Structure 1
Amino acid sequence: MRPNLIETLFKNIFKNTLQILIILIFNNFLAQNKLEDSKKNSDKTVTVVKNDTVKIEKEELDDVVRSKADRERSDVQKKMTYLNTNAEVSYQDMKINADYIQIDWDKGMIYARGKIDSLGKVIEPAIATQGGKKYEYNDFNYNYKTKQAIAYNARTEESEGVIVAEKTKKVSDSVFFLKRGKYTTDEYFLKKKDTIADYYLLAPDIKLVKNKDNSKLITGPIQMYIEQVPTPLILPFAILPMTEKRMAGILIPSFGERQEVGFFLNGLGWYQPLGEHFDLKAYLDYYTKGSWNIRPEVNYRKKYRYNGSFRAEMGNTIRGIKGLDNYSKSSLYSIAWTHTQDSKANPFFTFSASVNITSNKFYNNTVNNNNIFNQNVLNAQQNSTVSITKRFLNLPITITGTGSYSQNFNTGLTDIRLPQLNVAINQFYLFKPKTGVRTGLLENINVNTGLQFSNYVSGVKNDDLFTKTMWDNMQTGAKNNISLSTNTTVAKYFTFSLSGNVDNVFTTKTITRNYNPINNQVETIQNKNISGYSTYSASASLQTVLYGMLKFGNNSKIQAIRHMVTPSISFNYSPDFGKSSFGYYKNYYNERGILTSYSIFDGGMFGSPSQGLQQSIGFNISNNLEMKVRSKSDSTGVKKIKIFETLNISGGYNFAAEKFKWSVINVSTQTSFFQNKVSVNSSMTIDPYQIIFAPGENVGTRVENFGHFSVQNFTLGFSVPLSQEIFCKKEDLSKKYKTKGEIRNEVYSFDDDNYARFQQPWTLNLNVNYGYSRNATKFGTQIASVGVDSTLKLTPYWSLSGNTNYDFVSKKLAYTRLGFNRDQRSFTFSFNWVPFGQYKVYDFFISIKANILKDAVKYKERSFTPSSTTTF
């Protein structure tokens, strides 16, 4: 071949090959661009398969990754992006803000770091926000493909608290694992007003589970730290609900010591929600000397309808050492039920209950320390009532059904009314005019009437409760009362009143009384028969008001004294229902052969008819004494000072009485001083007849010798509520001192010498009681005591409290309690101590303030319904 032909052929081959290479390179370049665009823009790629079908591959990213920063650099070869200063990356609902962020597009990794100082310490955290929730980190790695992350020194807020962990791994949007995590509800730390929490719960391993409605922390061993100091409060594991909803779990007990029963755990329990309207608490009190007590409690509540609770206590109290004389063992029980109906639920039907039935020595032997600190152990009597009331829209009738139970712990006896039905007719006027104001005696006649039906038994021993003996002694009866009254004005200044009263009583039991010479006792026999009686009485009264003023002149310190007197006189009449013609009274001969009268209705539920004719005049004089004094502090220039708010003197004279026509004279006073700061109450009973005593006899005999006045009863009571505000005005320290403290000390004001200034409020309630009772005895009896109840705030965060009573007759201190409270910002700890007496005990507890943990982490349980609990 010729050289030119070979050269031409070679050129053509080279040219065609070059074109093919260019096409291949170009196609490869386009394919590379498409791959890059696929990574950045999530464009779908298409792959051709043997069957010529089209398959859509799964997207590598669900959204576009957006970024911005003050300084941004990309390394295309390494597929890296670097963001510096005010860096921000957004992906779906995740947004990351940091001082430095780097993105590895190949691995789908984002690394973020907070702002650091010259020493490499993070001074401003990186922040990730997802689903409206903010998380803070020193630095972290996030894979936006798998949505998993690992963070260091992470901080996140959950409910009312904050969690800080050395290392956090995000498995999914709802599950996190934390290493050495701290949880606290310290408000100062939460709001970053302080860099150190006053307390926290530390656990080496934590799992945080987040759901739509609630979240919870599940931990291994967890320990409470106070001011970074470890405490003995250690739990093997715990579940802390981060929700306002009720969660089941263990209730932490209080601890302490009672001298007679040993060391204790008081209130160890379990809390269990029961549906929407109920919950259950079960407590155990345990003492090292063997005493124990179980306390189940069910609470219920229906909004706008009703709420209440069932409570019970049962257990054994052991004192002393078995085998020794001081050893004792007693069983106790208590059953309680309270129910309250919302006033808006039904205005025509009301149901309420307050039931508390206990063993007779329950409070003397209680191992529930709350009964000691609440002073329930001082109860002498306890009443229980269940009541149903029905009203009608168009009828003037109110029907009330009740059941009542009254225990007397001193006598050990019980009174029961079961049931009792009252039908009351609303007051009405017999001759009320159709229009205008009622005038005169006739138009003012009003009638009150009703019917009462009752089953009643009194003086029941505990062993006889709800036995045949109790039912045999129960009385059944009914009472109808009709009362009429009217009044009018006479001679402009006098009020004249008339009234009449009728009682009709029916009962199923009467008594027969006689003297048995064999055993030298008066015997009372109950007769089961239907009987009844009717009584009636009438009265008339006249009343007016008199004023007197004594003026001292404008230059006198005392401007005037005003005396207001309200005298009234009344006439009362009732027949002698002790006459044999009525048949209400009978006679028997006592051990001395003296004919003695008694009523066949004695001891009945409605009492017995009065004996003796009443045609008496009664008087009452009510006095009010005040004075006006000059005062610069009052805007009017004068102020009123009460000398006597009331001074009442009352008595009577019975014309029909055969002897002792004058009644005893009653005097009572009530007043207050220092602008109602000191209250004084007193009462006195004076017998106008002479009482003589036979030689060697302590009980005297009343003789008809008028004019020998003697005090038979006298009581005097002082109530003095003292406080700081009485002696000095409260000043605004923030206006007087401009310098404020920081963080915890922000409640303090500081003077120029840098001394802290703060209020120290205090209260001191002083109650003094004196009583003298003679009752025809030669010497009589006295009671005299003083009680003190006080509080003192040493600082805005430290407070002391205490109360005590001193009996001047026995010369002993009665119930005494001392306590202190420390407000430690986000929690409080308190100490209560009864230092001596039968209920000597001390008790210590810690309580978190935050609602989320106030029932979960504490050393004493007092709440109605916990919002959360701690679970072992």
Structure 2
Amino acid sequence: MLPKNKTLISIIASVCTLLIVSLSAQPKRAEASASFNAGILFPADSLDNDSLTALIDSFSTGNAGKASSDTLPNDSLKTDTASVKSKKNVLDDVVKYKAQDSIVFMNGNIAYMYGNGVVNYLDIELDADEIRMNLDSSLVNAIGRPDTSGEIVGNPVFKDKSGTYESKTMKYNFKSQKGYITNIITQQGEGYFTGGQTKKMKDGDLFALNGKYTTCDNHDHPHFYLQLTKAKIRPKKNIISGPAYMVLADVPLPLAIPFGFFPMTKKYSSGIIMPTFGDEMNRGFYLRDGGYYFAISDYIDLALTGEIYTKGSWGLGAQSNYVKRYKYSGSFNIGYLVTILGDKGMPDYSKQKNFRLTWNHSQDAKANPNMSFSASVNFTTSGYDRNNLNSYYNPTTFTENTKSSTVNMTYNFPNTPFSISATTNITQRSNDSTLAVSFPDFTLNMSRVYPFKRKNPVGKERWYEKISMNYTGIFRNSIETKQNLFLKSNLIKDWRNGMQHDIPISATFNLFKYLNLSPSFKFTDRMYTNKILREWDPAKSTEVMDTTYGFYNVYNYSLSVSAQTKLYGFYQPLPFMGDKIQTIRHVFTPSVSFTAAPDFSDPRFGFYDTYTKINSQGIREDVLYSPFQQGMFSTAPQGKQGLVSFSVANNLEMKVKSDRDTTGIRKISLIENLTASMSYNMAADSMKWSNINTSILIKLTKDFNLQMSATFDTYTYQLNSAGQPVRVNIPRWKAGKGLGRLSSTGTSFSYTLNNNTFKRKKDNKKGEIPQAGEKPMSTDNQDSSPTTGADQNEEQNSEEQFGADGYMKWEVPWSLSINYSINYGYGTFNKQKMEYNGKITQNLSFSGNVDLTKNWSFNFSASYDFNLKKIAYMNCSIRRNLHCWSMSADFIPVGPYKSYNFHISVNSSLLSDLKYDKHGSAYDRLKWY
């Protein structure tokens, strides 16, 4: 028999053992008052490694109470981390874990961690609000727990070398390194994989059922996703899925794929460019913009694309971008398009071949301070834009009639005034397929120098030290022809070439303190390799031409002197007109110049020749012509010059009192510049007076100026023997028709209107409408209560704006740009009045946009034809920003190119091929006969 005290101890031990066995299977944490009976409860920071090992051994031998009372040291509150190593030594390293709240052990082999529990093993980390770990089998279960509001917090977060995974629940085996995850959330490249049931393998691969893949950063409730029935995720490599379908705004769409492959590599790599499919009435079904992308290096790439139509049309394209830091950057785009319309052998059959080349290159200023190279090439054949679908909805490209291209290289010789440049210019006119090419175009330039200036000046500057000169030499080779004849042109017969040298010499002297005197001399020399001789063929009654080749020099020179001064006038209003206007200032700048030059048509120069022809009346007459007048730089001017020129310039300003400050004065420009000029040639035998040229510039607002120029004709007109109007040597003032008649004028302006155009500027004072982001001010005298941090965050996140009345403002941002030009000139001749009738030409184009809401916008652009009195072209577009999606609708409602295009796609470049396009082009409109 046991002693009485031993019997009592045995009874107590048996009862405790039964309680432990009956309560050890409860997964929930017991209350603090009952947890001692259910097991042993310790604060998370009260267990060090030694005490924890002894505690585990005590549980395994049934001496839990003894372990708790005898083995815990008094200073066991020094650490917050516990580690355990299995007795069987099945793990490769120590498993470390901790919890912020508490750790509960049950049955000696199960540990419950509450409050931000963390488990570390090798490079693996598991965080959760509640973690249950089996110390024998290396199994870990992790879940989140509801807070006081019922929201689940502390969801499991698993981290290893393959990435980070967030989930609702997670089971993981440290020994096999496999896990089971529900409602996983992990980022792979630009996309997110969420939801479903997932199994994690030892190598890091994930196998999932019913998962979602999206590039929307709002992965808890994505705006779109692909519902994957099953998938394999290879972290940082790719996602391979089985059947999947699209879900947009929680609405499943009938868009499905049998399988999917989503690359996740962060490396710059090559890949396939998926094409766009569709159909046209005239060209058939098509695949467009598909091809292959070559990641050549970190500095250059290349995309080769193509398009093909079932009715025979096809096209190829190449696009590339290149950059080298601190050196240069640029891009080029080449396209070749073959368009076949109609059926072969039928009258409406046509085959067009078109080509496009765009190249932009810019050099960094740091690359070479002495040499620069730039290129801006925009070359397309006339039919390319009309047959390219991408051009329909680009008004700049589609309505552009003239295209120009320039390639330039300039080199500045160090420590010298000389520089040389080589340029290639190409100008195209789409309406008549005219091509003007200048290649090569060399220019040698010497900046202004003072050849007589002393290196070590002593005393005042001498008069001859003010003499300066510069030099410009040009060699040019050009041709103007049709596009289809360009490659067939002859370099000698069809191309024009020549050289020109300009040497101006000038100086400026000050006379009588107020007069600036500027004499100058200019010499121009032209060099040609051919000249065109003309003769009259009596048999055919026509002029014939003959080109001779050799070296020919054509020059001219002129001498001029000009004088200029400034006169200031001030006007103060009379007292009875008030003191608002303080002063009006008028600046009058007159100038007079004299230019002299000989008659270079004189036979002694040899620049002109004559031949005799028989006119329509059978009378012989001599015709003066220059064999070089069709040369690159024309020929020397005809007629002696003794030209006296007059010009005046005016500036009118006004000083007024400021409305904001009673002591302040502000200046207002009434007329910024008003000029008029006229000349008289004393050496001419007729038509001595020139036309009157005028111009005016008025600053209407800070951002809007009105500029206009006008020319007035000073001579009258009569009919010749053929009934054609000719200008005669009778000035208008002698004929009693005034000083001059307006022959041409015009102006153009562009202006943009928006929300702020008509708003009145108000000071930010009490009682006024608050600015954006401000709240209405309180009307009482009590101080408002302090704003809490939550209120401040709410104010910062809120996009609402309130007015002084407390109501929310409703604003629709908008803008309207107007471009208008008007010109007046001579039209048809009125034989009754013996005057030309006036003709007005106008051009109007406008564009604008309206943001109906934050994410909705409407844009449009159009041009108006005043001759046809209708809109010549209009392009409209509607945009919708769906956060991670974009939707657009473009349409041309009027004109011969009526069409539309609807496009919806993912913003992410990873899923750029996940899109839908629907369009109708001008070719789809049937012509019924």
Q: Deviations over 1:82-128 (max 9, x none)?
A: 33444332222322222322223333221111124899985552222
- Report the counterpart of residue 704 of structure 1 in structure 2: 730
Give the match's secondary structure for 2:714. Answer: strand
CA distance in structure 1 between the aligned counterparts of 2:867 and 2:722, rounded to whole angstroms: 25
How is 1:269-280 mapped onto 2 (pairs within 5 angstroms)? Answer: 269-280=291-302
CA distance in 2, matches of 1:751, 1:497: 64
2:315 corresponds to 1:293? yes
Q: Which residue of 2 aligns with 1:15?
A: none
Q: Is the Cα–Cα contact under 8 Å of residues 794 and 800 in structure 1 kept in the other structure? A: yes
Which residue of the other structure, out of 612, 619, 630, is the alignment partner of 1:589?
A: 612
Aligned to 1:491: 512
Alignment partner of 1:83 out of 85, 102, 113: 113
Aligned to 1:412: 433
The one of 642, 664, 677 aligned to 1:615: 642
Secondary structure of residue in 1 paired with 2:388: coil
Amino acid at match of 2:230: D
8 A Cα contact 1:791 1:802, kept in partner: yes
Equivalent-residue separation in structure 1 for 2:294 and 2:916 (angstroms): 19
Whether 1:656 aligns to 2:695 is: no
Q: Does 1:828 align with 2:828?
A: no
Alignment of 1:424-573 (within 5 A): 424-433=445-454, 434-435=456-457, 439=461, 441-454=463-476, 456-467=477-488, 469-552=490-573, 555-573=578-596
Deviation at 1:697, TM superposition (A): 5.0
Report the residue type matching 1:506 in the other structure.
M
Deviations along 1:301-350, one digit per CA (max 9) or x if unpaired, are 22221222332111233456778766544221122333222211111222
Equivalences for residues 767-786 of structure 1 within 5 A: 767-774=819-826, 777=829, 778-779=836-837, 781-786=839-844
**Change in CA separation of 1:472 and 1:573 when aligned onto 2, cut-off 3 Å:** same
Aligned to 1:153: 183
Aligned amino acid, residue 197 of structure 1? P
Contact 2:85 2:91 in 1 (8 A): no
The answer to whether 1:106 aligns with 2:136 is yes
- C-alpha distance in structure 1 between counterparts of 2:540 and 2:209, whole Å: 87
Contact 1:182-1:201 at 8 Å conserved across structures = yes
Counterpart CA distance in 2 for 1:740 and 1:521 is: 91
Could you list the per-position Cα deviations for residues 375-409 of structure 1 after superposition, in whole angstroms to 9, with x for gaps in the alignment? 22322322223222222323332121223333233
Task: Give the gaps of 5 or more residues in structure 2.
Answer: 1-56, 62-82, 762-769, 778-790, 830-835, 918-929
Q: Does 1:209 align with 2:234?
A: yes
Aligned-pair identity in percent equals 30
Distance 1:229 1:476, change over 3 A: same
Unaligned runs of 5+ in 1: 1-28, 34-38, 46-58, 861-872
SS of the residue corresponding to residue 526 of structure 1 reads strand
Query: Secondary structure of the residue that 1:605 maps to in structure 2?
Result: coil
**Residue among 243, 251, 259 paired with 1:229:** 251
Question: Following the alignment from structure 2 to structure 1, what is the Cα–Cα distance between the partners of residues 278 and 776?
Answer: 43
Q: 1:639 to 1:371 in 2, by over 3 A?
A: farther
| Deviation string, structure 1 residues 660-704 (Cα, Å, up to 9, x no partner) | 10011111222231333x332222111101123479957444342
Distance of 2:252 and 2:656 partners within structure 1: 63
The amino acid across from 1:845 in the alignment is H
Task: Check conservation: 1:749, 1:757, Cα contact below 8 A.
Answer: yes
Can you list the C-alpha shifts for 1:783-827, whole angstroms capped at 9, x where unaligned? 123222212222222222212122222212122111222222334
Report the Cα distance in structure 2 between the residues aligned to 1:579 and 1:695, rounded to whole angstroms: 29
Q: How many residues align?
A: 800
Equivalence for 1:74: 105
Could you tell me how far apart the structure 2 residues matched to 1:822 and 1:505 are? 61
Q: Distance in 1 between matches of 2:363 and 2:632?
A: 30
Q: Distance in 1 between matches of 2:902 and 2:820?
A: 31
Name the CA shift for 1:740/1:253 in 2 (closer, same or farther; >3 Å). Answer: farther
Q: Higher strand fraction: Structure 1 or Structure 2?
A: 1
The equivalent of 1:687 in structure 2 is 713
In the superposition, relative to structure 1, how do residues 583 and 727 fare at CA in structure 2: closer, same or farther (>3 Å)?
same
Change (3 A) 1:732 1:326: farther
Partner of 1:814, secondary structure, is: strand
CA contact (8 A) 2:871 2:894 kept: no
1:726 aligns with 2:754: no
Contact 1:305 1:345 in 2 (8 A): yes
Which of 652, 668, 685 in structure 1 is aligned with 2:695?
668
Q: Which moved more, 1:131-140 or 1:307-316?
A: 131-140
Does residue 124 of structure 2 align to residue 94 of structure 1? yes
- The 3 A distance-change label for structure 1 pair 830 and 644 is farther
Structure 1 pair 268/750, CA: closer, same or farther in 2 (3 Å)?
farther
Residue of structure 2 equivalent to 1:840: 898
Task: Compute the displacement of 1:762 (Å).
Answer: 1.9
* In 1, Cα distance between equivalents of 2:556 and 2:400: 38
Assess, with a 3 A threshold, how the Cα gap between structure 1 residues 696 and 392 changes in structure 2: closer, same or farther.
closer
Which SS does the other structure have where 2:798 is aligned? helix
User: 2:40 matched to which residue of 1?
Assistant: none
Match of 2:79 in 1: none
Please give the alpha-carbon distance, in whole angstroms, between the structure 2 residues aligned to 1:633 and 1:198: 52
Please say if 1:115 is aligned against 2:136.
no
Deviation at 1:769, TM superposition (A): 1.5
Larger RCO (CA under 8 A, 6+ residues apart): 1
Residue equivalent to 1:306: 328
Amino acid at match of 1:205: K
1:423-448, Cα deviation, whole Å (9 max, x unpaired): 22232112224348984642211110
Query: Which of 656, 659, 663 is the matching residue for 1:632?
Result: 659
Q: Is the 8 A contact 1:782 1:809 kept in 2?
A: no
The residue number in structure 1 matching 2:49 is none
655-664 vs 158-167, which deviates more? 158-167
8 Å contact kept, 1:320–1:327 = yes
Q: Structure 2 vs 1, CA of residues 615 and 857 (structure 1 numbering), >3 Å: closer, same or farther?
A: farther
Per-residue Cα deviation, 1:752-776 (whole angstroms, up to 9, x for no partner): 9996535432222222221122178
Distance 1:494 1:208, change over 3 A: farther
Give the stretch that moved more between structures: 401-410 or 729-738.
Answer: 729-738
1:600 to 627, 645, 649: 627
After superposing the two structures, state which structure 1 stretch, 701-710 or 658-667, moved more.
701-710
For 1:525 and 1:424, locate their aligned partners in 2 and report how far apart those are by CA, in whole Å: 35
- Matched letter for residue 641 of structure 2: Q
Residue 196 (structure 2) aligns with: 166
Q: Does structure 1 residue 41 correspond to structure 2 residue 72?
A: no
How far, CA to CA, are the matches of 1:696 and 1:72 in structure 2? 116
| 1:399–1:423 contact (8 Å) kept in structure 2 | yes
Give the whole-Å Cα distance in 1 for the aligned partners of 2:806 and 2:350.
Answer: 61
Q: State the distance in 2 between where 1:158 and 1:287 align.
A: 37
Residue-by-residue CA offset, 1:6-48 (whole Å, 9 max, x unaligned): xxxxxxxxxxxxxxxxxxxxxxx99x99xxxxx9436898xxx
Q: Distance in 2 between matches of 1:441 and 1:409?
A: 55
Cα pair 1:339 1:352 within 8 Å, conserved: yes
Report the 3-state secondary structure (helix = DSSP H, G, I; strand = E; otherwise coil) of the residue aligned with 1:757: coil
